[in-house]
Amino acid sequence: MVKVAILGYGVVGSGVAEVLANHLDSIARRAKEEIRIKYILDVRDFPDSPFADRFTKSFDQIVNDPEVRVVAEVIGGLDPAFDYVKRCLLAGKSVVTSNKELVAAKGAQLLKIAQDNNVNFLFEASVGGGIPIIRPISQCLAANDVIEIAGILNGTTNFILTKMIREQMSFEDALALAQKLGYAERNPAADVEGHDACRKICILASLAYGKHVYPEQVHTEGITKITLQDVEYAESWGGVIKLIGQVKKLEDGRIQVAVAPMLIDQDSQLANVDDVFNGILVRGDATGDVVFYGKGAGKLPTASAVVADIIDCVKHFKARKYLYWEDGVKDYVLPYEESVVPVYIRAHAQDAEAAAVKAEELFGAVRRLYRDNAPEEELAFSTNQEWSIGDIKAKVDQLEQSGVTVDAVIRISDL
């Protein structure tokens, strides 16, 4: 029998306890050991919980108990999670976590400590909730060069965009609905500003290319500026707007990485990933495109991924799993200004036709886009050519100097 501890009894933590209890036999069969919860750490009391006798408020009790072989950290955030995880690894315990903030900020460091102490540090639940993605990338695709990873990594923003696209709801109304349904926090910044998606693409990029990518290195835009006009123009262009986290390997060894709203072609496999679902596309040189789809969050999906990691730790006490990346290096990430992309632009001007002529002067041939009941001053187009983000900014400035007001600039993805 293997004894485990759960740090944090919030939504995910209570789910982990529930999944472990409800699947006791099948888990024992898979892990070849019975897995029992010895401690649950929480500052609160849960006298009515079926696990009432396991609660403790003392992390020291857990870290000093040699019987505890695996610890599930589901507190979230960096403090005290980082300190707890580090001390557990140093004490020779394997750790699993759903904490994307922790892995995105401290992954390389914690993987190194795990390696030095011959224990495992696993985090399948940190990306895509219940969707298996960390394991498939690290194992099944081992015989591939990963050319690119791109995904809809945040369910809350995808829900909001879906409501805007399908029901012409405004961003504000869709956000309010998401909050009402419990999909969005009262302070929704981490979701709608793209920070959550950023942490996840950092983890995937680090895993796929072997060097840590830090959130500060990643250009991150959210969806707060997306309007219903943009949604309409995206449709007339032939696609939808999605918040995409994307990373590509460049020929010079650097990577190009960003989180931003992008226009996605309607035929792309990511275009139909709607509501709170996540979809992650992995493009390998041998496999071609492989897409993983499912609920990216939620108590039980996330908990089941945490438990799968616990099982994997139990199966790998002797032969450590290979899951590792090095620390990041300076200049590893292409400066965002140098990314080369086509874009969609929405603008208005007293003379929209003259503005269109000016746009073609600056961007080369463009494709004009139209929507019903657009004001006469409105102008929207997609560029046929690709330009660097730096060039695009300069051209937008020039366009504005000619008396045009640019209201939206959104990348067009190649997905």
User: Looking at 76, 215, 238, 294, which residue binds its own copies (CB under 8 A)?
Assistant: 294
Q: Say how far apart CA 217 and CA 187 lie, in whole Å.
A: 24
Residue 47 has φ and ψ, to the nearest 5°, of -60, -25
- Give the residue with the Cβ less far from its own copies, 20 or 352: 20
User: Looking at 58, 64, 109, 139, which residue binds its own copies (CB under 8 A)?
Assistant: 139
First to last CA, the chain: 47
Buried b (16+ CB within 10 A) or exposed e, 265-277: eeebebbebbebb
Q: Say how far apart CA 199 and CA 92 lie, in whole Å.
A: 27
Which residue, among 225, 260, 231, 235, has the nearest Cα to 336 in the 3D structure? 260
Does residue number 115 form part of the binding site for its own copies (CB under 8 A)?
no
Q: Say how far apart CA 151 and CA 254 lie, in whole Å.
A: 20
Q: Applying CB under 8 A, what is the total number of residues that bind its own copies?
A: 52
Does residue number 30 form part of the binding site for its own copies (CB under 8 A)?
yes
Does residue number 118 form part of the binding site for its own copies (CB under 8 A)?
no
Q: Is 353 helix (H, G, I), strand (E, B) or coil?
A: helix
Does residue number 235 form part of the binding site for its own copies (CB under 8 A)?
no
Q: Establish whether 248 is a catalytic residue.
A: no
- Give the residue with the Cβ less far from its own copies, 36 or 316: 316
Q: Say how far apart CA 275 and CA 252 lie, in whole Å.
A: 37
Span of 77-85, 239-247, 283-291, 399-407 interacting with its own copies by CB under 8 A: 283-291
CB of 270 to its own copies, least distance (A): 10
User: Looking at 23, 249, 254, 348, which residue binds its own copies (CB under 8 A)?
Assistant: 23
Span of 14-22, 192-200, 218-226, 247-255 interacting with its own copies by CB under 8 A: 14-22
Does residue number 148 form part of the binding site for its own copies (CB under 8 A)?
no
DSSP state of 34: -
Strands 146-152 and 239-249: antiparallel
Does residue number 43 form part of the binding site for its own copies (CB under 8 A)?
no
User: Looking at 42, 73, 124, 232, which residue binds its own copies (CB under 8 A)?
Assistant: 124
Strands 55-56 and 343-348: unpaired
CB of 95 to its own copies, least distance (A): 17
User: Looking at 298, 378, 404, 410, which residue binds its own copies (CB under 8 A)?
Assistant: 298
Does residue number 170 form part of the binding site for its own copies (CB under 8 A)?
no
User: Looking at 269, 388, 402, 405, which residue binds its own copies (CB under 8 A)?
Assistant: 269
- What number of other Cβ atoms are within 10 A of residue 254's Cβ? 17
User: Looking at 160, 300, 355, 380, which residue binds its own copies (CB under 8 A)?
Assistant: 300
User: Looking at 78, 290, 340, 394, which residue binds its own copies (CB under 8 A)?
Assistant: 290
User: Looking at 1, 43, 319, 365, which residue binds its own copies (CB under 8 A)?
Assistant: 319
Q: Is 108 helix (H, G, I), strand (E, B) or coil?
A: helix
Does residue number 292 form part of the binding site for its own copies (CB under 8 A)?
yes
- Which tokens is 203 given? 């983890």
Which residue, among 234, 243, 229, 237, has the nearest Cα to 168 in the 3D structure? 229
Does residue number 322 form part of the binding site for its own copies (CB under 8 A)?
yes
Residue 74 has φ and ψ, to the nearest 5°, of -130, 35
User: Looking at 95, 114, 141, 149, which residue binds its own copies (CB under 8 A)?
Assistant: 141
Q: Is 38 helix (H, G, I), strand (E, B) or coil?
A: strand
Does residue number 136 form part of the binding site for its own copies (CB under 8 A)?
yes
Q: Say how far apart CA 40 and CA 218 lie, in whole Å.
A: 35
Q: Say how far apart CA 109 and CA 100 lie, in whole Å.
A: 14
Residues 6+ apart with CB under 8 A from 318: none
- Give the residue with the Cβ less far from its own copies, 143 or 189: 143
Residue 406 has φ and ψ, to the nearest 5°, of -90, 120
Catalytic position from the list 200, 242, 248, 321 = 200
Does residue number 211 form part of the binding site for its own copies (CB under 8 A)?
no
Which residue, among 119, 56, 52, has the nearest Cα to 85 in the 3D structure? 119
Does residue number 287 form part of the binding site for its own copies (CB under 8 A)?
yes
Q: What are the residues binding its own copies (CB under 8 A)?
A: 15, 19-20, 23, 26-27, 30-32, 124, 129-132, 135-136, 139-145, 269, 272, 284-295, 298, 300-301, 303-305, 307-308, 311-312, 315-316, 318-319, 322
Residues identified as active-site: 200
